[in-house]
Amino acid sequence: MRVAAILGAGGGIGAACARAAAEAGWRVVAGDIGGAAERAVGGLAHDPLALEADVTDEAAMGRLAATAAEAGEVGLLIYAAGVVGTMAVDRMDWTLHRRIMAVNLEGAFLAAAAFAPVLRPGGAAVFLSSVAGRRGEARASSYCASKFGLIGLAESLAAEWAPRGVRVCAVAPGNVDTPMLARVARDIAAAEGVTEEAVRERLRRAGAARRLVRPEEVAAVCVALGSPDFGAVTGATITVDAGAMVG
């Protein structure tokens, strides 16, 4: 059976990816911490598996890759783990900075290294970047740097894995209606002395479509990239932002 491994499966986008993959006929192997993976696969079809897996733990990534390989033919890897934080560069919380880099970027390297031997020819890996990985944002240097790095990783892996028939892409969402965005709105509101609702409205109107992106819309793109119909798409960054990059 085709297996889709989803890391960060308990988050808003990750959980949507798990649902979309199962609906598309994939057997989902989900990894996350704090029981989030188990919650994400509840009720999904095709006998999903859930593992406690910290993406910053090399051994945990190895166990997850081995479990996925035992579950079937691994044809799709989605890296959706992520941490956000807003802070000015001269007032950095270095513990938070290191956590952002470890989860958002270094964990992606660990996942890539673990899954490289088990991703089948014709398969695909998808890394969740962000529009913040395509342009800088004030008070978000750590987050932006990590997401820029993910795009670089995806492009490099696309070249490295092409001879094996494995495609690699990044997906860059805009403002997605998730708990993470709610936390960002709270942080911005506190920093600017405005209401969370005012910030949320600003975020909603940031794109040309004047709305937030739904997690399911991002997930649809991630899962579609695992299809043979997208066999010529590799090394690309797909933006799903309701027009945020064009205003």
Length of the chain as a residue count: 247
Per-residue confidence at 122, pLDDT binned at 50, 70, 90? very high
Tally of CA atoms within 13 A in the half-sphere of 61 that contains its CB: 23
Confidence band (pLDDT; 50, 70, 90) for 224?
very high
Catalytic residue among 115, 143, 148, 161: 143
Residues 6+ apart with CB under 8 A from 23: 45
pLDDT tens string 44-79: 999 999 999 999 999 999 999 999 999 999 999 999
Q: Is 79 a catalytic residue?
A: no
Place of tokens 């079937």: 72
Sheet containing 73-79, strands listed edge to edge, beginning at the edge strand earlier in sequence: 49-52, 27-32, 2-7, 73-79, 124-128, 167-173, 237-240
Angle in degrees, CA 127, 216, 169, rounded to 5: 20
Query: 61 versus 200: which is more confidently predicted?
Result: 61
pLDDT value, residue 212: 95
Amino acid at site 189: A
Nearest by Cα to 160 from 231, 65, 152: 152
* Burial class for 1, CB neighbours closer than 10 Å (0-12, 13-18, 19+): exposed
- Measure CA 39 to chain center: 18
Dihedral through CA 30, CA 35, CA 40, CA 41, nearest 10? 60
Taking Cα atoms as reference points, which of 24, 132, 238 lies closest to residue 6?
24
- This prediction has a pTM of 0.96
Q: Tell me, what amino acid is at 166? A: V
Q: How far is CA 166 from CA 74, 115, 147, 234, 245, in A?
A: 11, 11, 22, 9, 29
